[in-house]
């Protein structure tokens, strides 16, 4: 024999509403973004700035080749982002936070026909040397090209079979570099 409380369906209803309200609040994008990354730059905002700068959406020749890596943890920028072309071939865009102690990243562009006419010197799957270069130093190691590219193009490479891909600039056949500033 079970006893029933006259208020139990009502209590269950209030509890269910409370749980539902909590789940809705936790799943709201703005609440999640604030809880997960206070004081960090929104990568989607960088994507929008790059699209506005190039006049092309992501993946279209002349626009960004792909969205900015969502794993980046860049400090929030109080000033508007500064964007400029890097190099004459317009193979990448320099995105900078002009705040004191700000950051900068390079966003590869989708070259389309310009890349094929420039002559591919590295093929996807090819073994390459990736060099990290900076003021007065250079460190290199073997890697695998995950994309084909011409001299000056930015491609993805992987240094170890299970490592995350890096963006590197093609220097010459068999050599890519990641500049460190």
Give the DSSP per-residue string, 33-81.
HHHH-TTB--HHHHHHHHHHHHSS-TTSTTSBSSPPPTT--PBP-SSPP
Q: What is the pTM of this model?
A: 0.47
pLDDT digits (tens, 9 = 90+) for 34-87: 334 579 999 999 999 999 998 888 888 888 988 999 989 999 999 999 999 887
pLDDT digits (tens, 9 = 90+) for 138-174: 899 999 999 998 888 889 999 987 788 989 989 889 9
Angle, helices 29-36 vs 8-27, to 10°: value is: 60
Domain ranges of the chain: 8-37, 43-110, 114-179
CA distance 163 to 102: 27
Fold of 114-179: SH3 type barrels. (2.30.30)
Residues 107-132, mean pLDDT to the nearest whole number: 78
């Amino acid at each position: 024999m079970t006893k029933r409380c006259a208020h139990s369906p009502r209590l269950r209803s209030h509890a269910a509403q409370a749980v539902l309200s909590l789940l809705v609040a936790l799943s709201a994008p703005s609440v999640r973004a604030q809880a997960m990354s206070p004081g960090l730059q929104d990568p989607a905002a960088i994507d929008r700035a790059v699209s506005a700068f190039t006049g092309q959406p992501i993946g279209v020749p002349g626009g960004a080749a792909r969205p900015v890596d969502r794993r980046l943890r860049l400090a929030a920028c109080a000033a508007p982002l500064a964007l400029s072309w890097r190099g004459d071939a317009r193979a990448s865009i320099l995105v900078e936070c002009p705040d004191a102690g700000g950051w900068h990243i390079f966003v590869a562009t989708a070259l389309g026909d310009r890349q094929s006419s420039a002559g591919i010197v590295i093929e996807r799957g090819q073994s390459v040397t990736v060099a990290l270069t900076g003021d007065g130093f250079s460190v290199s190691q073997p890697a695998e090209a995950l994309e084909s590219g011409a001299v000056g193009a930015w491609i993805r490479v992987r240094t170890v079979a299970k490592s995350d891909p890096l963006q590197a600039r093609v220097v010459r056949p068999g050599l890519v570099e990641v500049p460190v500033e």
